[in-house]
Amino acid sequence: MAKPIAPIPHRDGIAPSFVGLPQGDWPLILDFLIQRFPHVAADDIRGRLLRGEVVDEVGNPYRVDSPYRAGTVLWYYRPQPEPLTVPFAEHILYQDDVLLVVDKPHFLPVAPVGRYALENLQTRLRLRLNNPEITPLHRLDKETAGVILFCQSPQHRHAYHGLFESRQIQKTYEAIAGFRAELSFPCVHTSRIEYRDDAFTVQEVAGEANSETAIELLERRGNYAHYRLAPHTGRKHQLRVHLAGMGIPIVNDAWYPELMPDKGNDFSSPLQLLARAIEFVDPVTGEARRFESQRELGWPTWWALY
C-alpha cells in the first residue's frame, strides 16, 4: 500500500505521522489512541484531541467524542523531544533543480532522530531552501563530516539510488587514526561485519567477507597517521570498524573499539573521519561529477602524538 497523501503540511521541516485504523471494537477514536499509544498518558491524548491536533484523511480535526471509523487514516505531529543545538554550519557545495551537494559538519545527523528531530541536516536544508522534498541519497554518520548528496526532486531519486546500488559512485574518505609500524600500506582490508546485540553498533566476525576498504598512508606523526580510505562496499560503520580491527582506531571514536558514554552536549572531540570526495556520472545530465569537502581534520595535540 502506498503512503497516503498528508492533509496537513510539514511543520518545522518535519513531516506529519499517520496511523491506519484497523478493524476493531473501539467506540471512540480516543479509546483507540489510548490503547495504541500506551506510553502516552491518557490526559495528554485527550488534550491533543481538544486542541484539534489529530486530524482525519482530509484534515478535519477529531474530537474527544469522535466515533471510531475503521479503514480510515488519522494524522498527527509527533511531540518533539527537547532539542539539542549543534553549533556548526553546513555548506552547500553545489545546487541545481535536482541535485544538492552539502559539506556536513561533525555532530549533525543527516535525518531526524531523537533529540535531533529538528536539529539535523535534512530539516535545516528543507527550511533554508523552502523545499520539503529534499531527501538524502545515502548515509553519513552523525559523527562524520564531509560530502553528502541530497535530491530535491522526488521523481529523480530512483536514478541516483541506482548509482549506489550498482556501485557506480566512488567515495573517498580521510581519517586521523593510530599508527602501527608492523602494518604495511597501501593495503586492502576485508572482513565480515555483523550487528552486535545492542543493534546499533557492529563487529567483525568470522566468515565470508562482506566488506572491503582500500587504505593508503598519507602522513605519519608519531603514534598517529593520516589515511586515505576508499570503501568498495558500504556496510554500517565500515571504516570505523576496519581501522579499529587493525589496531589503529580513529581519533575520538566513542564507539570503536569500545563503546564509550554518550558525548551529549560536548562538541570538543569530533571523530576524525571525513568524507573527502565523491565522484559519479550524473544519471540526469550525463555529466561527470566530482565534489570535494573543504573541511580539514585535526591532529591530536603535540604532546599526545608521541
What per-residue confidence (pLDDT) applies to 198?
64
What per-residue confidence (pLDDT) applies to 261?
76
What per-residue confidence (pLDDT) applies to 4?
80
**CA 248 from centre of chain:** 25
Beta carbons of 281 and 288 less than 8 angstroms apart? yes
CA-CA distance, 143 to 62, in Å (whole number)? 41
What per-residue confidence (pLDDT) applies to 110?
96
Beta carbons of 214 and 195 less than 8 angstroms apart? no
> Could you confirm whether domain 17-76 is CATH 1.20.120?
no
**Unique residue bearing C-alpha cell 480516543:** 30
What per-residue confidence (pLDDT) applies to 107?
95
What per-residue confidence (pLDDT) applies to 83?
65
What per-residue confidence (pLDDT) applies to 259?
81
What per-residue confidence (pLDDT) applies to 2?
59
What per-residue confidence (pLDDT) applies to 108?
95
What per-residue confidence (pLDDT) applies to 82?
64
What per-residue confidence (pLDDT) applies to 12?
67
What per-residue confidence (pLDDT) applies to 204?
96
> Could you confirm whether domain 91-304 is CATH 3.30.2350.10?
yes
Domain ranges of the chain: 17-76, 91-304
pLDDT at 194 over 90: yes
pTM for the whole structure: 0.76
Task: For residue 220, give every residue at least 6 positions away whose Cβ sits within 8 Å of its Cβ, in sequence order, or none.
Answer: 179, 226
CA-CA distance, 249 to 256, in Å (whole number)? 7
The residue among 5 and 226 whose pLDDT is bigger is 226
Q: pLDDT tens digits for 99-155?
A: 999 999 999 999 987 677 778 999 999 999 999 999 999 999 999 999 999 999 999
The residue among 265 and 52 whose pLDDT is bigger is 52
The band of 160, judged by pLDDT with boundaries at 50, 70 and 90, is very high
Q: Quick one: three-class SS letters along the chain? A: CCCCCCCCCCECCECCEEEECCCCCCCEHHHHHHHHCCCCCHHHHHHHHHCCCEECCCCCECCCCCECCCCCEEEECCCCCCCCCCCCCCEEEEECCCEEEEEECCCCCCCCCHHHCCCCHHHHHHHHHCCCCCEECCCCCCCCEEEEEEECCHHHHHHHHHHHHCCCCEEEEEEEEECCCCCCCCEEEEEEEEECCCCCCEEEECCCCCEEEEEEEEEEECCEEEEEEEECCCCCCHHHHHHHHCCCCECCCCCCCCCCCCCCCCCCCCCCEEEEEEEEECCCCCCEEEEECCCCCCCCCHHHCC
Mean pLDDT of 183-189: 98
Q: pLDDT tens digits for 243-272?
A: 999 999 999 999 999 888 777 778 989 999
Other CB atoms closer than 10 Å to residue 300's CB: what's the count?
Answer: 16
Q: pLDDT tens digits for 54-110?
A: 999 999 999 999 999 999 999 998 776 666 789 999 999 999 999 999 999 999 999
The band of 303, judged by pLDDT with boundaries at 50, 70 and 90, is low
What per-residue confidence (pLDDT) applies to 302?
72
What per-residue confidence (pLDDT) applies to 104?
98
pLDDT at 299 over 60: yes
Closest CA to 295 of 104, 24, 113, 133: 104
Please give the torsion angle defined by the CA atoms of residues 276, 297, 228 and 259, in that order, rounded to the nearest 10 degrees: -100
Beta carbons of 250 and 177 less than 8 angstroms apart? yes
Q: pLDDT tens digits for 20-45?
A: 899 999 999 999 999 988 888 899 99
